[in-house]
Amino acid sequence: MARLSIEGLCKGWDFPVLDELDLQVEEGEFFIVVGPSGAGKTTLLRLVAGLETADAGRILLNGEDVTTVPPYQRGIAMTFESYALYPNMTVFKNIASPLVARKLDRHTIEQKVTAVAKLLQIDHLLDRKPGEISGGQKQRTALGRTLVADPKAYLLDEPISHLDAKIRHELREQFQTLEALHTVGTLYVTHDYSEALALGDRIGVMGGGKLVQTGTPRELFDFPSHAFVAQQLGQPGINLLMTSLTEDGGKTYLRSRDGNLKLILDEEQRQRLNGRSNAEVLLGIRPQHIRILAPRQKAPAKHQMVDARIEQFQPLGSMGIAITRAHGIDLKALTPPEAAHIGAQEVRLAIFSPAFHLFDPISGKRI
């Protein structure tokens, strides 16, 4: 039995936000919903928490229908994007709040709050007020308030999106090591794909009011079911080009609609495209599958060579992004940071053809 199960959830105001959304969070699972801003991620969390009422559909917690149960009886804990710390209370009282609501005795409350604060390394801040601590510490306090509640499920709304990079990485590690989050069931919402890939046991990509695809990070990254999913995951974003299928001299090509880029398909890909009435194909190539060859370097196996010119190069420390132009088509390529051949404007690209992603240009679905 799933810990948290959402069936056909609908919610809308003047326009639909959630449209028959289905979702299952298994016992002990860390499930991440990723999607662009405005996709309805926060609405989903608010519905699960009971802060909004569903237009249709059911929310089951441990098999029990809680769709109409008010938030204070659901036994769900949530962190808000804005942290929502009580400004007039100390860090201690903020964390203790769910325990005070349950009227636990003072000794137990003190014990539990101190333990959680130690775990989150904020035990030296317990007497301060939220206005006197940093953003990262506020997030830890908000997290402490949810952890101490010992809920049936955790909901985390963009918990680390507004923090600076260093603290974001610290907290990301913390999410991986916090046992509580991995024992009941956690629904975590973010717009940052790298958080999703790094933290999620499973990921759901949200778009158009529902989850377009759910699966493990590897599944989603390597086999996106939809061009939208491929676009959401990966930085720099996937190269998407409109192509049409052509035959020439017994070989099957994809020829770009603009420009004149021709890429050969292998046998397996050719078979996948067999029997399609439409000759148009949306081709996706991840930047890490495009390499820039040094002069006179031979193409590695299973790579296709394409002449190109480097238009722009962004060194990013541990890697570089080259924006190249090949036969009138812009292609982003992931390179080593110190790509020495960058000085030479005219280069050859090696494209790893087995990793081509083929999508239907109209439905966006994977072929």
Partner 1 sequence: MSETNYKLVRGLLLAFLGLWVLLTLAPFYWQIITAFKSAAETNLTVPTFWPREFFPENFVAIFAEPANFSALVDSFIIATGNTVLSVFLGTLAGYAFARFPAQAGGENLAFWILSNRMFPPVAILLPMFFLFDSMPWGTDSYMSLIILYLVFNMPLATWLMMVFFRDAPRELEEAAYLDGYTPFKAFFKITLPLVLPGMISVSILCWIFAWNEYLFANLFVGTAVKTFTIVIPTFTQGSQTLWNLQMAFSLIAMIPPVTLFILLRRYMVRGLSLGVVKG
Does 49 interact with partner 1 (rule: CB under 8 A)?
Answer: yes
Q: What is the dihedral of CA 237, 242, 244, 248, to 10 degrees?
A: -50
- 53 touches 68 (CB < 8 A): yes
Q: Which of 78, 143, 163, 351 binds partner 1 (CB under 8 A)?
A: 78
Which residue number, 78 or 196, has a Cβ lying nearer to partner 1? 78
* DSSP code per residue over 265-332: --HHHHHHHTT-S--EEEEEE-GGGEEEEPTTPPPPTTEEEEEEEEEEEEE-SS-EEEEEEETTEEEE
Q: Which of 18, 47, 77, 153 binds partner 1 (CB under 8 A)?
A: 77
Q: How far is the CB of 87 from partner 1 (least distance, A)?
A: 7
Q: How far is the CB of 283 from partner 1 (least distance, A)?
A: 44
Angle, helices 91-101 vs 106-119, to 10°: value is 130
Does 356 interact with partner 1 (rule: CB under 8 A)?
Answer: no
**C-alpha span between 236 and 338 (Å, rounded):** 18
Q: Which stretch binds partner 1 (CB under 8 A): 77-85, 133-141, 180-188, 227-235?
A: 77-85
Q: Which stretch binds partner 1 (CB under 8 A): 3-11, 49-57, 188-196, 344-352?
A: 49-57
**C-alpha span between 5 and 10 (Å, rounded):** 14
- 57 touches 23 (CB < 8 A): no
Q: Which stretch binds partner 1 (CB under 8 A): 4-12, 17-25, 84-92, 353-361?
A: 84-92
Nearest to 186 by CA among 48, 67, 51: 48
- 287 touches 310 (CB < 8 A): no
Does 116 interact with partner 1 (rule: CB under 8 A)?
Answer: no
Does 361 interact with partner 1 (rule: CB under 8 A)?
Answer: no
**C-alpha span between 317 and 176 (Å, rounded):** 25
Q: Which stretch binds partner 1 (CB under 8 A): 28-36, 81-89, 273-281, 305-313?
A: 81-89
Angle, helices 135-148 vs 91-101, to 10°: value is 20
Q: How far is the CB of 287 from partner 1 (least distance, A)?
A: 39
Burial of 199-236, coded b for 16+ CB within 10 Å and e otherwise, reads: bbebbbbbbebbbbbbbebeebbeebbbbbbbbbbbeb
Q: Which of 9, 18, 61, 76 binds partner 1 (CB under 8 A)?
A: 76
Q: Which of 88, 134, 246, 363 binds partner 1 (CB under 8 A)?
A: 88
Does 28 interact with partner 1 (rule: CB under 8 A)?
Answer: no
What's the distance, CA 229 to chain centroid? Answer: 10
- 213 touches 226 (CB < 8 A): yes
Does 4 interact with partner 1 (rule: CB under 8 A)?
Answer: no
Q: Which stretch binds partner 1 (CB under 8 A): 54-62, 65-73, 113-121, 252-260?
A: 65-73
**C-alpha span between 126 and 211 (Å, rounded):** 40
Q: Which stretch binds partner 1 (CB under 8 A): 80-88, 113-121, 230-238, 281-289?
A: 80-88
Which residue number, 158 or 348, has a Cβ lying nearer to partner 1? 158
Which DSSP category does 42 fall into? Answer: H
Does 13 interact with partner 1 (rule: CB under 8 A)?
Answer: no
Does 343 interact with partner 1 (rule: CB under 8 A)?
Answer: no
Which residue number, 21 or 149, has a Cβ lying nearer to partner 1? 149
Contacts with partner 1 by CB under 8 A lie at 49-51, 70-72, 76-78, 80, 82, 84-88, 97-98, 101-102, 145, 149
